[in-house]
Structure 1
Amino acid sequence: MIEKLVLVALGGAVGASARFLVVNAALRVLGPAFPWGTLIVNVLGSVAMGMVVTLLVERVPAAGDRLAPLVMTGVLGGFTTFSAFSLDAIQLIERERWLAVTGYVTSSVLLSIIGLALGMMLTRAAIS
């Protein structure tokens, strides 16, 4: 149990650091008008989760038992940002930016689900 907790903590530090870098890069490049960084992180995280779950859970379950806490819970849990997503949505609502919040919530959910399916599909095709 302690070993898995350490793996989750280490992965979380890596994922959270990566999220910080992506969100700040998006802010510099795309500006503050829309929470692009959080959207990008959630979609990329979903694609990565699809790939990882396909590899670790479906193809190599023994490795998945060891690596899932590090990669899935730690790195990807630290990288994806649905709590930040919720905050961004509330902030758009509080500013009464109804079109932006509708687009943001809809695109975040749909693109993340599509991203996860895409990650699984690409990985299955690559390892078949």
Structure 2
Amino acid sequence: MTTPVPARIVLRRAALAAAGGMIGTAARLAIGMLVPDAAIGVLIANIAGALLLGLLTARLAASDLRVFLGTGVLGGFTTYSAFTVGAVGLWAAAPLLAVGYAVASVVFGVAAAALGLHLGRRREPA
């Protein structure tokens, strides 16, 4: 049985996630403005975000900072909804390309997260 989290902690962490989300969303918008192809911009953000979230998860214990950076900044930076809308939109024009985009997004995202977790693990001194 788990102990309920006090309301003040829930509210503080919600505020941290919201503040971080504004930063992450602005960063994703910046990538979208720099990369003319929206689907490629989303792919870049999602893969980079997966790598960074893996590093963060491996390095930081559950804390306010991890909520701010992981749930907030990286949650706002990465976007499943834009990925799916892009894949569906691409499907209408080029179904094989849409499948390739979807597969590449998932495969490279999982690989980036695994790499981040691996790189973030603390090494024992030799």
**TM-score using structure 1 length:** 0.84
Q: Which amino acid aligns with 1:40?
A: I
4+ runs of 1 displaced by more than 4 Å?
none
1:5-52 Cα deviation digits (max 9, x unpaired) = 11011000000000111122111xxxx3x7110100110000001000
1:15–1:78 CA contact under 8 A, matched in 2? yes
CA distance in 1, matches of 2:111, 2:14: 30
CA distance in 2, matches of 1:21, 1:74: 17
Report percent identity of matched pairs. 34
The unaligned stretches of length 5 or more in structure 1 are none
CA distance in 1, matches of 2:100, 2:35: 18
Counterparts of 1:78-89 in structure 2 under 5 Å?
Answer: 78-89=76-87
Task: Quote how far apart the aligned CAs of 1:94 are.
Answer: 2.2
Counterparts of 1:1-128 in structure 2 under 5 Å?
Answer: 1-27=10-36, 32=37, 35-56=39-60, 61=61, 64-95=62-93, 97-124=94-121, 127-128=122-123
Two-structure CA RMSD over aligned residues (Å): 1.3
More helix by share: 1
1:79-104 Cα deviation digits (max 9, x unpaired) = 00110000001101122x01210110
Total equivalences in the alignment: 114
The unaligned stretches of length 5 or more in structure 2 are 1-9
**Structure with the greater alpha carbon radius of gyration:** 2
CA distance in 2, matches of 1:2, 1:121: 32
